[in-house]
Structure 1
Amino acid sequence: MALRGVIFDMGGTLLHFTPEGQSWEQSEKLGTGAVYQYLRTLEYTLPPEQEALDAAWQVTRDTWAGIEHADVKSLKLDTVLSVIAQGWGAEDLPGDVYQDMAAAYMGAIQPYVRPLDGVYEMLRALRDDGLRLGLISNTFWPGSVHLQDLERFDLTPYFERLIFSSDAEAWKPNSGVFLQALDTLDLAPGEAAYVGDSLYFDVWGAQQAGLRSVWIEQPDPWLPEGIEVTPDATIRTLPELPAIARDWATVPDVPQSEKRG
C-alpha cells in the first residue's frame, strides 16, 4: 500500500531530553537529584546522595525494561517517584509532596529540552507532500507538560494527533496505541510509517502493528533478549526522511513485518 501518513516518537526523535553531551542516565540523575534535594529540604532522612541516585536509576531502568507487562495505570511519574522515594526510606508522603517531587524532577530537565537538528525542514517537507502526521510518545510525564515543550518550539501545528502514553494508558510496543493513532488519522497500518530511535519500542512495536518502521540509528541500541528486528529504513538525520517517504508514497512497498508473514 502507498504511504499516506507518518507517526513519530518524541524524545530522541523530535526533541532531545538530555543535556548536550550527556547520557540518559545522567539526565535521569539530574531529575532525581532535584527530587533528592527537595526531600532533604523537608528534613527526610535519606541515604548518601550518590547511593540514592544510583538506586533511583536502577528503578527507572527496571521500570522501562518491564513496560510491556506492567500495569499501565502505574506508569506515571508520581508513581515511579514514589517507588524511588520509598527505596530511599521516605514512605507515606502527603499527596502534595508527590506533586512537588514530580515538579522538581521535570523542572530540572525541561531547561535542556531542544529540537533535533533538521526537525522543521523535515516536518515541512512531509506536510507539503500531503502526508498526515501524528505522534506517539512513551512517557511517564503528564502529556500537558510535553505539550508545553512542543508548543514552545512551534511543533504542534504539524500534527493531527498527539498521544502521550501516561494519559492514554497505552504504551509502545503494544499494538493498541499504534492502532489508536491510525484510527484518528484514518489510516490503515500499511499506509503509515513510524519513526523512532528505539529498535524495541518504535521499530519492533510498529512492525507488530503492521506499520513500516524508520529507525534513527543509535550507537548503542537495546533490544530485549530473544527479539530480532530489521527496520524498513534506517536514517541518521531527520532530513533524510522525506525522500524515503516519497518513495513509499509513490511506489507501494511491503513492510518487513508483512514480508516475515
Structure 2
Amino acid sequence: MSLRGVIFDMGGTLLHFNPEGTSWEESEKIATGAVYNYLRTLEYTLLPEQEALDAAWEVTRNTWAGIEHADVKSLKLDMVLGTIAQGWGAADLPGDVYQDMAAAYMSAIQPHVRPLDGVYEMLDALRDDGMRLALISNTFWPGSVHVQDLERFGLTQYFERLIFSADAEAWKPNSDVFLQALDALDLAPDEAAYVGDSLYFDVWGSKQAGLRGVWIEQPDPWLPEGIEVTPDATIRTLPELPAIARDWAAVPDAPQVGKRG
C-alpha cells in the first residue's frame, strides 16, 4: 500500500534527553543523583552515593531490558524510583515523597532537552506532502511533562496524536501501542512507517505490527539475543526521511480482489 502516515519515537529521534556529551548511563545517574540528594535532605540513611547510583542504574537497565513482559501498571516514574529508593534503604515512603522524587528526577533532565538537528525541516516537508503524523514514546514520565517539552520547541503542532506509554499502559515493542496510533490516524499498518533510534523497540516492534520500520542509525545497536531485524530504511539524519516517504507514497496501491469499478 502507498504510505500515508509516519509515526515517530521521541527521545533520541525528535528530542535529545541526555545532556550533551553524556551517555544514557551518565544521564540516568545525573537524574537519580538528584533523587538521592532529595532523600538525604529528608535524613534517610542511604547507601554511599556512588554505590547507590550504580544500583539505580542496574534497576533502570534491567527494567528496560524486560519491558516487553513487565506489568505495565508498574512502569511509571514514581514507582520505578520507589523501587530504587527501597534498594538504597529508604522503605515505607509516604505518597508525597514519591511525587517529589519524580519531580527531582525530571527537573535534573529537562533543562538539557533539545531538538535533534533537522527536525523542523523534516516535519515541515512531511506535513507539506500530506503525511499524517503521530508520536509514540516509551517513557516512565507522565505524558503531560513531555507535552510541555514538545510545546516549548513548537513540535506539538505537527502531530495528530501523542501517545506516552506510561499513560497508555502500552509499550513498544508490543503491537498494541502501534495499533492505538494507527487507529487514531485511521490508517492500516501497511500505510504507515515508524521512525526511531532503537532497532528493538522501534524497528522490530513496528514491523511486528505490520508497519514499515525506519532506523536512525546508532553506533551501538542493541537487540535481545535471538532477535534479528532488517529496517525497511536506515537514515543518519532526519532530513533524509521525506525523500524515502515520497518514494513509498508513490507506490500504487494493489488492486483489491473482487472489487469492480
**What's the TM-score once normalised by structure 2's chain length?**
0.96
Q: 1:251: Cα distance to partner? A: 1.9
Residues 148-194 of structure 1 show CA distances to partners (whole Å, capped at 9, x for unaligned) of 00000000000000000000000000000000000010000000000
Distance 1:200 1:219 in 2: 14
Contact 1:76 1:140 in 2 (8 A): yes
Contact 1:122 1:241 in 2 (8 A): yes
Residues 123-157 of structure 1 show CA distances to partners (whole Å, capped at 9, x for unaligned) of 00000000000000000000000000000000000
Residues 5-62 of structure 1 show CA distances to partners (whole Å, capped at 9, x for unaligned) of 0000000000000011110001100100000000000000111101000000000000
Partner of 2:66: 66
Residues 70-89 of structure 1 show CA distances to partners (whole Å, capped at 9, x for unaligned) of 00000000000000000001
Distance 2:80 2:87 in 1: 11
Partner of 1:27: 27
User: Which amino acid counterpart does residue 226 of structure 2 have in structure 1?
Assistant: G
Equivalences for residues 226-245 of structure 1 within 5 A = 226-245=226-245
Distance 2:171 2:189 in 1: 17
Partner of 2:181: 181
Match status 1:139 vs 2:139: yes
Distance 1:188 1:164 in 2: 21
Partner of 1:154: 154
252 and 214 in structure 1: CA distance in 2 versus 1, 3 angstrom threshold: farther
Distance 1:94 1:252 in 2: 59
Match status 1:194 vs 2:194: yes
Equivalences for residues 69-148 of structure 1 within 5 A = 69-148=69-148
Q: 1:253: Cα distance to partner? A: 8.9
Distance 1:253 1:152 in 2: 39
252 and 68 in structure 1: CA distance in 2 versus 1, 3 angstrom threshold: farther
Contact 1:189 1:211 in 2 (8 A): yes
User: Which amino acid counterpart does residue 85 of structure 2 have in structure 1?
Assistant: A
Contact 1:10 1:136 in 2 (8 A): yes
Which blocks of at least 5 consecutive residues in structure 2 are unaligned?
255-261
Partner of 2:204: 204
Secondary structure at the aligned position of 1:173 is classed as coil
Secondary structure at the aligned position of 1:184 is classed as helix
Partner of 2:216: 216
Secondary structure at the aligned position of 2:193 is classed as strand
Residues 187-244 of structure 1 show CA distances to partners (whole Å, capped at 9, x for unaligned) of 0000000000000000000000000010000000110000000000000000000000
In percent, how many aligned pairs have the same letter? 88
Secondary structure at the aligned position of 1:171 is classed as coil
User: Which amino acid counterpart does residue 224 of structure 2 have in structure 1?
Assistant: P
Distance 1:252 1:19 in 2: 44
Equivalences for residues 1-20 of structure 1 within 5 A = 1-20=1-20
Q: 1:252: Cα distance to partner? A: 4.8
Partner of 1:45: 45
Secondary structure at the aligned position of 1:193 is classed as strand
Tell me how many residue pairs correspond in the alignment: 254
Secondary structure at the aligned position of 1:60 is classed as helix
Distance 1:221 1:87 in 2: 30
Distance 1:137 1:204 in 2: 15
Secondary structure at the aligned position of 2:215 is classed as strand
User: Which amino acid counterpart does residue 26 of structure 1 have in structure 2?
Assistant: E
Contact 1:3 1:252 in 2 (8 A): no
Distance 1:204 1:57 in 2: 25
**What's the TM-score once normalised by structure 1's chain length?**
0.96
User: Which amino acid counterpart does residue 210 of structure 1 have in structure 2?
Assistant: G
